[in-house]
Homo-oligomer: A and B are copies of this chain.
Amino acid sequence: MTATLVLTAHPGDFVWRAGGAIALATSRGRRVVIGCMSFGERGESASLWRKGYTLDEVKAHRRGEAEQAAKVLGAEIRFFDADDYPLVETPELLRGLIDLYREVQPAVVLTHAAADPYNFDHPFAHAIALKSRILAQAPGVEGPGEVIGAPPVFCFEPHQPEQCGFIPNVLLDITEVWERKTEAMRILAAQKHLHRYYTELGSRRGLQAARNSGPNLGLPNETYAEAYMRLYPQVTRELS
């Protein structure tokens, strides 16, 4: 009824960038479905290639990790097995995403930011996630399931935010599920150097959340947070 849909270019993305939001939602009994467009086999598996893995072995390895991480976070996961580096639009990928939107009927959508000059799969994933969301709204576009409404979209933080035009306008307090996110991050053995990076990032965004939180929330400095960039206007019944 109030599901979250997370659409990523590669499997690692949902852990590092949105693991807290996912764990927070599932900890409250909500459904979260992750759609991985590719296995990140070319662009984010350098260490496996260096070990001599074949393409199939790389994919199987990344799939295994991703399934394990999704399980820790309490989320379902789907794979579209599109080629990565570069990700390109195929009718199957677009069709699959439209169908997934209509199946999940998300109340919230998370995906990549609009720009990333260090990884072009990310803006591509952003563009196709938004495009399929609009198409899933139209009765004239065929396919199983009901058309969807207009769920809000939140972009997660890229690696070098200032170079990507990423201006955080939402800071999500994930302190209560931080351990869960940490556990999921430990699974991604192929990208160990990122563990420390994202722990510091969680702490820094948490400090900023505390600095920006009004009297109502009153967060302490020891908060952990994830930064997001909301794309469409927030619709609300209360200013806060």
Contact = CB atoms under 8 A, between A and B. Distances in A.
A144 interface: no
Contacts of A238: 24, 172
Contacts of A117: 130, 231-232
Interface in A139-170: 139-141, 148-152, 154, 160-163, 166-170
A235 B215 contact: no
B118 A236 contact: no
A216 B140 contact: no
A64 interface: no
A234 B234 contact: yes
A151 to B, nearest CB: 4
A172 B239 contact: yes
Interface string A11-27: 00000000001001100
Contacts of A225: 235
A236 B150 contact: no
A58 interface: yes
A235 B217 contact: yes
Given A214-B150, A214-B152, A171 B135 contact: no
Nearest to A47: B139
A100 to B, nearest CB: 16
A107 to B, nearest CB: 5
A55 to B, nearest CB: 9
